[in-house]
Amino acid sequence: MSFILKEELLQSQDTWKRSQIRLTPSLYDAVMRYAEENILSLNSALMYLTDEGLVSTKKDIKRKIIFTEWHPLHELEDSSDFISHNNKVRMSCSEYMSNFFNERPSYELIKFEFKSQVQRIGKKDQEILFGIRIWYSYPA
């Protein structure tokens, strides 16, 4: 399947949609190299590469699903300060997730869940966070 239709290519360019695109110097160089290697204009190369990107969807790539758990190193020091503790755990977990996915660009987050336990604090049961479980997929 292609999004480039032969009938549209044969139409007057007055019917085409106009756009302006800004490319980083390295991306521009890569597209120009591709255009030169395939004897295409810059515009044709951009159209072809865009079409290729749209056609080769992630659904075509076999992926595996797995989870990992992570627990920050801080402990609940004062049981009355569980709100501050939970906030610290949330921030630590979000930093861990950011680093985890930034270092693995081909991984895709499916869902995450906080790991917690209920403790009686005073007269109430309180949820105390102690980590995170991340469900993600990666290329097989």
Element housing 66 (H / E): strand 63-70
Residue 115 pairs with which residues in a beta bridge?
A: 131
Between strands 124-139 and 108-121, the pairing is antiparallel
Q: Which helix (H) or strand (E) holds 53?
A: helix 42-55
CA 13 to chain CA centroid, Å, is 36
Q: pTM higher than 0.75, yes or no? A: no
**Averaged over 24-50, what is the pLDDT?**
91
- Model pLDDT for residues 67-126, shown as the tens digit of each residue: 999 888 766 565 567 778 888 889 999 999 999 999 998 899 999 999 988 887 778 888
Cα-based distances in Å from 139 to 5, 66, 70, 133: 31, 11, 22, 20
Q: What is the pLDDT, as a whole number, of residue 79? A: 56
Residue 99 neighbours by CB under 8 Å, 6+ apart: none
Q: What is the rounded CA–CA span in Å between residue 36 and residue 60?
A: 29
* Three-class DSSP category at 42: helix
Tokens 């969807």 correspond to 57
At 94, is the secondary structure helix, strand, or coil?
helix
Q: What is the largest CA-CA distance in the chain?
A: 77
Predicted local confidence at residue 81, as pLDDT: 74
